[in-house]
Amino acid sequence: MPPNTTASTGQQPGKSGRKKGRRARLFVLVLVLAVLAGVTGGAYWSISTVRASFPQTKGSITLDGLSGPVDVKRDGYGIPQIYASSDEDLFMAQGYVQAQDRFYEMDVRRHMTSGRLSEMFGKSQVDNDEFLRTLGWDRIAEQEYDKTLSASTKKYLQAYAKGVNAYLAGKGSKDISLEYAALGFTNDYKPQKWTPVDSIAWLKAMAWDLRGNMQDEIDRALMTSRLGPKEIADLYPQYPYSRNKAIVQTGRYDELTKAFQPGGSASTAGSSTGSANGSTGASTGTASGPSGSGTASLQSQLSGLQKVLDGLPTAVGVNGNGIGSNSWVVAGKHTITGKPLLANDPHLSASLPSVWYQMGLHCRSVSSTCQFDVSGYTFAGMPGVIIGHNQNISWGMTNSGVDVTDLYLEKLSGDGYLLDGKTVPFKTREETIAVAGGTSKKIVVRETNNGPLLSDRSSELVKVGKKATVDTAAPDRGDGYGISLRWTALDPGTSMDAVFAMDKAANWNDFRAAAALFDVPSQNLVYADTKDHIGYTLPGKIPTRAKGYDGSVPAPGWDSRSRWTGYIDEDELPYEYDPARGYIVTANQAVVDKDKYPYTLTTDWGYGARSQRITDLIQSKIDGGGKISTEDMRQMQLDNSSEIAKLLVPKLLKIDIEDEDVREAQELLEGWDYTQDADSAAAAYFNSVWRNILKLAFGNKLPKELRVKGQCLYVDPVNTTGPADEAENVRECGEREAEQAQPDGGDRWFEVVRVLMDDDDSDWWSTPKSGTRPGATDRDQLFKRAMIDARWELTAKLGKDIDTWSWGRLHRLFLKNQTLGTAGPGFLQYVLNRGPWKLSGGEGTVNATGWNAAGGYGVVWVPSMRMVVNLGDLDKSKWINLTGASGHAYNAHYTDQTDKWADGELLDWSFSDDAVTKSTSDTLVLKP
């Protein structure tokens, strides 16, 4: 039975001053406020410094190292299209142009990926640097550059770095960006030259935020302090394969040939290319925790680890939580043009500038010496195009969510760690962290055979490891227990090779060969080409595990049987080519039905609310005899329909409400079409009811490590049961950052509630009385309480008059510069930040403007860009970015796309020479 809880107010004793919130810990710049407070300083900034860093976009610039002239044509939104006559010139120009617009962003990113944030921002970042040094992203990137990447990829990376450094040459801080001018008041930091490894390391940061189920692995283990196996299973229900279709619907696994055989009209065209990805071993076992490790030990260790993770800056996601994306492709037989349409909108953290950078890379004449004609989205700091199209094909990406990380509980001693009854010495290295304005710090990184010891980066973890209670079957305590990480991205890979190979691919076989190189992070790749073919492939280095281990919970590091047994062979990974249904949808749902595939890809798929809604929208158009247009694809991207509202509202309307004010709010739901538009009062009230249902039924019963920091409850002491009695209960306050807390309200929680709906008397529906608010012992009583709580919550937030309520007033997007605009002084935040925007959409919705139900209604992640590619006429494709091309505050292109993005508009996407020429506003010629 879930533990009883009652609400309490106030802050957690002793905790409020001990640890600042995540945002307050990120990039704190001391002393700037005093320097910038004066009127004179502000005037100097507004006139001189702000404009000094704006890029030159007209005329000509001479760059040493070019072999010929390069044209940089920018449209009215500052989006560059680059024209060159050699690959090296093309990527050198790309480096130069991206540095013009975004070098400060690039510089911060490389300091994050290499664990060197303290060099820029001082001692506040030492803890983050220690953790990032322990992961060692830059070390792995160096190994990739030295050992695994192709000669051509190295050549492109070198050319890109040459372009970035050409931009930096001879420039002072204020000539590069406003932020450097701010840093100059307290720090003598000067940007260093760019290197090829700086570009490669960014892929590691992306992989970290898209790493799969590590957060679920931690949460499940933390739940064991207050919930039993049955309750935890309730909160992680089985994927609803019969209701929400998997991505690959026609495949089967042929046990005779040991190969995955897609169905559809052209399955023979999908033969695998490239080399095998390692040995195989079926992972068919059930979830298994550390044998004899002890719940208390694991819970204590993971609680400390979670606190470390909460403090890390994000690269592209919300520290691994809430990461989604939509991508789908429709074959020509269902489109107006008779050729495929492909849509993509990755859901990532909102950042300013956007994580994406739009551009085109064009060889004036495609040949062996100049091989690219590609346009799309890339990351500032990385050559090539990540998502987009070339003259023949288009592709999109969504996070596959496959499990490529495992946590291991390690038995440590002074001499090493235990493995199969023997002590094995650690692999160690020493790292020196330079600190701006302070003394450098040295750390020792220790690694086991599974990977780096994350627990070394927290004094709290060391302490609880020594005190942890364990079962007698576990190894002796000794100096305690630690936690190590096994992760595919900590091995050298070839993902950078994959970027250029995809950019050049001319057909399905080329694309599959390119995808095979994309080992980390594992992504769902959708494909379309001008010959009217569509496809899907799952690339990635995906581990196999021994029977009894499925990666859902931490494993015992002292037992070698818990180690990975190999990787799934490339030719056994799921894919689909020209399926008979004529479309493919990926939105983080299950890749393939578990009964059709012998390997466990993950135990933690997204639950398919978005993917099935997209599928239904496509199928309804087809069933109605219609043809799908580019505009139809755009409208699908903006679909605001709430799937959980469709389930709950009919029940909510049947509940008898006595209070007139609450009944007035209930009446908002009558006739509501479940669409979460920004101006909808019904959407505001329903989402508040949903939030309160989750809080009452589940949130108040979770352990403190999962609840929002500072939100306090009186709860039963651990390992006891009985009625909530404040005289006997203990006061516990949440410990997790609001954007990371549970229940977050995503589609897993949709499924939790859906499964429990028919069990009116489930213990989950029980909640105690609080003040004048009634308690509940069944589902409808809890729903009634949630409706009451929601009415008065919105009264406090939006006013008593429900005619003034709207979802957009609650659901707002603030765009914050991810460094000084996040935690710098007020003046800088005013200069660098923008917003708010009142947004439509919501959690688990196709228009996925995500919010965390435990933490509040504010927008946490967004469709970071949207695109629709028309393979019948590439110049009729459409795209939009969250912000703009520029990273310079007050530049015209800082946030010039955001209003249109918020309204769901798309911009014209010129590709052909004629279309680009017509849309060009500024032309810059780079001369050798």
> 915: exposed, middle or buried (C-beta count within 10 Å: 0-12, 13-18, 19+)?
middle
pLDDT higher than 50, residue 592:
yes
SS3 content of the chain, % helix, strand, coil (to 5): 35, 20, 45
DSSP string covering 142-157: HHIIIIIS-HHHHHHH
Q: What's the pLDDT band for 276 if we cut at 50, 70, 90?
A: very low
For 516-525, 578-587, 879-888, which range has the lowest pLDDT when averaged over its residues? 516-525
**279: which DSSP letter?**
-
- Which tokens belong to 423? 């002590």
Percent of all residues in the chain with a pLDDT value above 70, rounded to a whole number: 83
| CB-count burial class (<10 Å; 0-12, 13-18, 19+) for 368 | exposed
pLDDT digits (tens, 9 = 90+) for 67-95: 999 999 999 999 999 999 999 999 999 99
Instruction: Report CA-CA distances (Å) from 10 to 14, 706, 712, 734.
Output: 12, 18, 7, 11
Quick check: 346 and 397 in contact, CB under 8 A? yes
Assign residue 220 a region (left: φ > 0; alpha: ψ between -120 and 50; beta: otherwise): alpha
Q: For residues 117 and 382, give the distance between their C-alpha atoms in angstroms, rounded to a whole number.
A: 19
CA–chain centroid gap for 446, Å, is 28
What mean pLDDT is predicted for residues 344-359? 94
Tell me the angle at which helices 681-697 and 747-756 cross, rounded to the nearest 10 degrees: 70
pLDDT 10s digits, 156-196: 999 999 999 999 999 988 899 988 888 877 778 889 999 99
> Within its chain, how far is the Cα of 309 from the centroid?
14
Of the pLDDT bands very low, low, confident and very high (cuts 50, 70, 90), residue 51 is confident
User: What's residue 256's pLDDT?
Assistant: 60
**Which range is most confident: 261-265, 427-431, 467-471, 715-719?**
427-431
- Does 20 or 832 have the greater pLDDT score? 832
**324 φ, ψ (degrees, to nearest 5):** -135, -160
260: which 2 tokens?
Answer: 């995955």
Residue 615 carries which side chain, given as an amino acid letter?
T
Residue-wise pLDDT for 514-554, tens only, equals: 999 999 888 999 999 999 999 999 998 999 999 888 888 77
Q: What is the pLDDT of residue 727?
A: 44
Report the phi/psi class of residue 451: left, alpha or beta, with left for phi > 0 and alpha for psi in -120 to 50.
left
Q: Are 854 and 320 in contact (CB under 8 A)?
A: no
Return the structure tokens found at 43.
Answer: 């005037």
Looking at every residue in the chain, the average pLDDT score rounds to 86
For residue 754, give the amino acid letter: R
Half-sphere exposure of 189 (CA within 13 A, CB side): 28
Q: Please give the single-letter amino acid code of residue 648.
A: L
Contact of 87 with 154, CB cutoff 8 Å? no
- Of 321, 234, 286, nearest to 594 (Cα)? 286
Smallest Cα–Cα separation from 682: which of 634, 646, 638? 646
Q: Residue 107's CB: how many other CB atoms inside 10 A?
A: 25
Exposure of 592 in the CB half-sphere (CA atoms within 13 A): 26
Tokens coding 716: 């039963």
Q: What is the pLDDT of residues 194-213, one digit of tens each?
A: 999 999 998 888 887 777 67
The residue among 608 and 297 whose pLDDT is bigger is: 608
The mean pLDDT value for 119-132 works out to 90
What size, in residues, is the chain? Answer: 928
CA distance 593 to 242: 9
Residues 6+ apart with CB under 8 A from 436: 118, 119, 120, 121, 122, 186, 187, 188, 189
What is the residue whose two structure tokens read 């803890």?
127
Q: Rounded CA gap, 666 and 513, in Å?
A: 56
CA distance 911 to 75: 12
Instruction: For residues 702 and 752, give the distance between their C-alpha atoms in angstroms, rounded to a whole number.
Output: 14
pTM of the model: 0.90
758-809: per-residue pLDDT in tens? 999 999 999 999 999 999 999 999 999 999 999 999 999 999 999 999 999 9
**In sequence order, which residues have a C-beta less than 8 Å from that of residue 916 and are 6 or more positions away?**
73, 75, 81, 360, 362, 910
The token pair at 793 is 């919550």
Closest CA to 853 of 344, 297, 322: 322
Q: What are phi and psi of 792, to 5 degrees?
A: -85, -25
